[in-house]
Amino acid sequence: MKSNTINRKKLLAIINFNSLKTIFLSILTFLLILTSNWMASFAYSSPVVQGKEPIEVAQAENQYPFYWEFINVDIDLQENGDMLISETQNYVFTQAYNNQRYRYIPLDKVDQITDVSVSENGKLLPITTGIENNQFWIRWEHSLNPPEAHTFVLNYRVIGGLHIHDSGDQVYWKAIFADRKSPIEKAKITVRLPNILSGNIQDFKSFGVPSSSVKVNSQTIQFIAQQSIQPGEELEVQITFPHNLLKVSVPNWQNFSWGSFINAIFGWIFFIFIILSFITGGSSGYGGDGGGYGGDGGGGGGGGGGGGGGGGGGGGGG
């Protein structure tokens, strides 16, 4: 009778351990998938602003219903870290087309976008805005009777768009967006820094299509594209100045760093390992009525420890 009781306890302990091991492996798999997905989004995200102008009707090869004669972007950095951005976009419509315009701005490297307006010839136009797929979108309508040109001025405030680093803080902005289906003939980007940063520009550069850059004065940098910008091409600018001259906090999006993410993964794995070891250890003690079973229970506890170590290695590699 005593032997049957011991065998029943041993069987229950083995079942409990296998169940716990299955739960542990399931949680570990979930954490690995979460890590993989986060890494993919991080790798392909960039501190940028993009936009797109959807074309709803198929066009003949090398034919565009419109193009941009120019896009001029002015970025005025404020002492509180906000960026006041003005985009002057000159559309040239060559054939019949819809009268709705769009602008999309990704929010992955931005805390918030406010104070949005669109105007033509100094007159404000009705707009609608929203957020979809982690992008802030702006939509407006206008009269259209091609062939003709329209110049729209988009204004908006970017909150939490600076890049804060110990080695230097940065305005890092993709002003000319790649996600469009028509070319831009000319583009100019002007970045103005506040008076407190006058004479403190450490570095400035651009990425994307070739552009010239000139330091207009001690707090203004200008970039001019040296060629037309085809669909899929972009122009991004970066201006670096000493850290902490602007008394601004680190943006919310930047607070979620690699270090905190990895530490969180390790923390969860360690916590699960401790709970697993405690429970399996308790099971082995519970079966201590028989000396032989006590040894098997101890072995089960050791197996749990090995599983925890493997999970820790997987989390660190992610």
* String of DSSP letters for 61-80: TT--SEEEEEEEEEEEE-TT
What's the pLDDT at 63? 78
One-letter identity of residue 5: T
Q: Tell me how far the alpha carbon of residue 123 is from its chain's centroid.
A: 34
Task: Give the strand pairing for 83-93 and 66-77.
Answer: antiparallel
Phi (first) and psi of residue 165, to 5 degrees: -140, 150
What's the pLDDT at 280? 56
Q: Who wins on pLDDT, 114 or 314?
A: 114
Mean pLDDT, residues 129-134 = 95
Is it the case that residue 258 has pLDDT exceeding 90? no
**Percentage helix, strand, coil for the chain under 3-state DSSP, each rounded to 5:** 35, 35, 30
Task: Please give the DSSP secondary-structure letter assigned to residue 163.
Answer: B
CA distance 109 to 230: 25
Weakest mean pLDDT among 119-128, 172-181, 244-253, 255-264:
255-264
Q: How confident is the model at residue 312 (pLDDT cuts 50, 70, 90)?
A: very low
Average pLDDT, the chain: 77
Q: How confident is the model at residue 255 (pLDDT cuts 50, 70, 90)?
A: confident
178-217 burial code (b ≥16 CB/10 A, e <16): bebebebeebbbbbbbeeebeeebeebebebbebeeeeee
Q: What are 171-222's pLDDT values in tens digits?
A: 999 999 999 999 999 999 999 999 999 999 999 999 999 999 999 999 999 9
